[in-house]
Structure 1
Amino acid sequence: MNITEEEKIAYVANIISIALRDGILSPKEVSALEEFRNIYGLKKTHFTSAYKIAENPSFTLVHIGNFGVQVNNLSDMLYLAHIDGEFSGLESSELEIYSKNIGLTKEQFLKMIKEAESAASSFKSQIECPKCKTANESVAKFCKNCGIQLTNSTPDPIKIEFEIPKEGYSIEFAESTSSNFSLVLQIAKTAPVFESALRNKKNWYLASWPKSEFGNVFKLASGLSGLKNKRFYINGIEEQWDTSFGFLWCFNNRNEAYQPDLYCFGKEDNRINPWGCTQIRMDWAEWADWFSYGKFIPAGKNSYQWKFDKERIMHEVNQNLHRVRMCPSIRFNFIQSILDNFPEVIDLENNKDWDFKTSYSESPGAIKIVEKSGSGFFKYENEYYSDGVKPKGYNFLKLLMGKSAKSSNESLPAIDQVIG
């Protein structure tokens, strides 16, 4: 054929797409595609390019070259469509439309179908001898070159796509040369649903578990953390891997910590948080930004109350939780109880647990604080701005955590261990 290398790739992509229509590659289709690659002198890299084009769900048949080339392409596609003895309605209608578009009549198309049926019926797929690599007919019992016994069982069809279960968790991943891949594959094979498929000459695997067995999903995800080709589904819908398993590195650090439960409360880094999750990133510290979420309310002359914006606090907690929401160590009921039991308003007059948060530059909503100290000749004033409140130590936090643990009925480490 007088077509360019690029046109050859598109030409063969048309043929491959017909083989992929039913989601399965039969052994005969695999052999026929290899035959076409040899006939048209397509390098393996170019064949791989054609395969990638054809397996794209949005791919549609394209017209290559002149009328003669297009008729030849249609003939090859019809041959491939009949090779496994199943000429589906989808293949038939698609190829009929193609024939109309290149100018063939209905009678001409039907004649080409009969020719394809006849050619496909005489096709004999081949198997390769495992010893000397000689091609033998698939029905052969012994290699025609070296004489060793060959398997006479018919190879199973090769899946190219998975049907993702509509319930539970599913992970699909590609074969890898990673040193721990055999262990990963062993974990996947324990799943209630385990399947394999061939995509672009690379093996892919699917493992699915019900929602009650996230622990096994977690094991497989941990093993796949360093690999690129992987996808995660919840109830048949694909989720972003990073936002679903973004907690893995933190969870592994937790398991390696001296006291894992205390790690989640920030004890390891001396950055205590009230939530039991370091990834919420809202510590119990004087400088914490979330203690400025709210506004001051005048309560008298030079007296103020602080009203927390609990909706904003809740929004930030939920937003930060989202990317680690699958972590099995998160106590969601406890976190909600902390939010529920957190005070709406704090009276700052002679408050032993809270004080004005110091800010040395004025900002929207900030108030000016003038503190007078000393006596006699040693009187002085300290002026600063405040845009929120700060806790005085951990006494209030102890009470908050104790109340929240009780109302959430969650098992927690001793509060004195967290804060002490």
Structure 2
Amino acid sequence: MDAPVRILLHPSDETYFAMGKTLENFPTKEFAIDNSFKRPKELTFKFQRSNSSAFAKILVLAEKADEFNVSTIDGKEIFSAKWYYENICGCVDFALLLSRIRNKTLYIDGIPEDWKESMAFLPCLKDRMECYNPIRHCFGVAGNYLSIWGCEAIKLRWFGFENWFSWGTFDNPNVFRFDKARLAHELRRRAMKFRLCPYLNYTYIQEVVKHFPETVYVDRKKWNYRTCYNSRPEVLFVVLKDELGSRSFFTDGVFPKSWEIPAEIMAKAMGLSGKDELKLLWSSPDGTVSYT
């Protein structure tokens, strides 16, 4: 692990997010950096001439790289386009087109890397660049859902029917204990695929996991039972009685009903004093979230 450094949620974003502050002015914390998510210095794309209809456009975009050169090896032209990581957004259109041709190699800090694994972030970053409010894209708001992790591509969304709300066990019929070790493992595994995205902040994700509740009490106001439709050893059979009568069902986890829960978690992870300072406006009927 590297020495602790100061990191903002999205250092280059100009979008207003909380209390009229830009993200550059967010309160910061001391975080340790996971070396697997350490930013590279440069990306180099080497490719050969192709009969693809997109090749002419690829060549035009390649010439806009921070460094571009052409060499000849064994009678074949080898084109090389290098972007420094701080300018990575400038290579998105080029890399998306380059993915269509066969004879190409990606080098990250001089080391050849798998194209499919390393470039998985490109379509999502392209969508973000074209989004009216980019930060809403990262938090899933543009798609009318919420990703408290700040990365919608991770897909662990804040909806009760998401399977990850069943990751854990019931201590008793009213208390559910989340398996935070499994949650942290799955988040890291999924985030690794998008580690080159300049807006992925793994330290923020770690803070969200840290402030995520260990256990929740099923009071049917903030948390309710998550319904499942088959009996397994780890599920409970619940019988509820109220003014409407009684009903029974199987449950394997919990269902969040209050939007205050993710607001509090996110505020703590961002180093804010509370959910009110974050100023999130939630619309619970359809799950739409807006930020002010």
Give the TM-score, by structure 1 length: 0.52
The 1:175/1:325 distance shift into structure 2, 3 A limit, reads same
Q: Residue 28 of structure 1 aligns with which residue?
A: none
Distance in 1 separating the partners of 2:144 and 2:97: 30
What is the CA distance between 1:222 and its match in structure 2?
Answer: 4.0
Q: Residue 259 of structure 2 aligns with which residue?
A: 394
Q: Residue 196 of structure 1 aligns with which residue?
A: 71
Match of 2:230 among 355, 361, 364: 361
What is the CA distance between 1:286 and its match in structure 2?
Answer: 1.1
What is the CA distance between 1:210 and its match in structure 2?
Answer: 5.3
Q: Residue 81 of structure 1 aligns with which residue?
A: none
Q: Residue 151 of structure 2 aligns with which residue?
A: 277
Cα deviations by residue, 1:206-246 (Å, 9 ceiling, x for unpaired)? 33455555455556424523332211122332211111111
Structure whose residues are more often strand by fraction: 2
Distance in 2 separating the partners of 1:254 and 1:211: 17
Distance in 2 separating the partners of 1:373 and 1:340: 36
Q: Residue 310 of structure 1 aligns with which residue?
A: 180
Cα deviations by residue, 1:184-223 (Å, 9 ceiling, x for unpaired)? 33124x31x7452334x43112334555554555564245
What is the CA distance between 1:351 and its match in structure 2?
Answer: 5.8
Is residue 167–residue 236 contact of structure 1 (8 Å, CA) maintained in 2?
Answer: no
What is the CA distance between 1:253 and its match in structure 2?
Answer: 1.6
Cα deviations by residue, 1:329-388 (Å, 9 ceiling, x for unpaired)? 21222212111111111122x3632111112321231011110122xxxx7321111100
What is the CA distance between 1:405 and its match in structure 2?
Answer: 1.4
Alignment of 1:186 with 2:63, yes or no, is yes
Distance in 1 separating the partners of 2:90 and 2:193: 20
Report 1:244-255 matches (<5 A): 244-255=118-129
- SS of aligned partner of 1:343: coil
Alignment of 1:236 with 2:110, yes or no, is yes
Is residue 165–residue 254 contact of structure 2 (8 Å, CA) maintained in 1?
Answer: yes
Is residue 48–residue 78 contact of structure 2 (8 Å, CA) maintained in 1?
Answer: yes
Match of 2:139 among 246, 257, 265: 265
Distance in 2 separating the partners of 1:395 and 1:292: 20
Distance in 1 separating the partners of 2:143 and 2:89: 27
The 1:414/1:231 distance shift into structure 2, 3 A limit, reads farther
Q: Residue 40 of structure 1 aligns with which residue?
A: none
| One-letter amino acid matched to 1:187 | K
| One-letter amino acid matched to 1:281 | K
User: Which is higher, the Rg of structure 1 or of structure 2?
Assistant: 1
Q: Residue 320 of structure 1 aligns with which residue?
A: 190
Is residue 394–residue 419 contact of structure 1 (8 Å, CA) maintained in 2?
Answer: no
| One-letter amino acid matched to 2:257 | K
Distance in 1 separating the partners of 2:130 and 2:109: 32
Distance in 1 separating the partners of 2:245 and 2:62: 73
Is residue 121–residue 197 contact of structure 2 (8 Å, CA) maintained in 1?
Answer: yes
Distance in 2 separating the partners of 1:306 and 1:385: 14
The gaps in structure 1 that reach 5 residues or longer are 1-165, 408-412
Alignment of 1:380 with 2:245, yes or no, is yes
| One-letter amino acid matched to 1:287 | F
Distance in 2 separating the partners of 1:255 and 1:210: 18
Structure whose residues are more often helix by fraction: 1
Is residue 70–residue 77 contact of structure 2 (8 Å, CA) maintained in 1?
Answer: no
What is the CA distance between 1:328 and its match in structure 2?
Answer: 1.4
| One-letter amino acid matched to 2:249 | Y
Distance in 2 separating the partners of 1:264 and 1:210: 23
- SS of aligned partner of 1:283: coil
Distance in 2 separating the partners of 1:398 and 1:323: 26
The 1:208/1:269 distance shift into structure 2, 3 A limit, reads closer
Distance in 1 separating the partners of 2:42 and 2:125: 22
- SS of aligned partner of 1:291: helix
Distance in 2 separating the partners of 1:398 and 1:179: 48
Distance in 2 separating the partners of 1:312 and 1:347: 20
Q: Residue 171 of structure 1 aligns with which residue?
A: 45
Alignment of 1:337 with 2:207, yes or no, is yes
The gaps in structure 2 that reach 5 residues or longer are 1-39, 273-277, 283-287
Give the TM-score, by structure 2 length: 0.72
Q: What is the number of equivalent residue pairs in this alignment?
A: 238
What is the CA distance between 1:183 and its match in structure 2?
Answer: 1.2
Is residue 176–residue 253 contact of structure 2 (8 Å, CA) maintained in 1?
Answer: yes
- SS of aligned partner of 2:270: helix
Distance in 2 separating the partners of 1:183 and 1:250: 23
- SS of aligned partner of 1:172: strand
Is residue 145–residue 289 contact of structure 2 (8 Å, CA) maintained in 1?
Answer: no
Is residue 184–residue 223 contact of structure 1 (8 Å, CA) maintained in 2?
Answer: no
Distance in 1 separating the partners of 2:186 and 2:155: 9
After TM superposition, the structure 1 stretch with the greater mean CA deviation from structure 2, 354-363 or 170-179, is 170-179
- Give the number of the structure with larger relative contact order, counting CA–CA contacts within 8 Å between residues 6 or more apart: 2
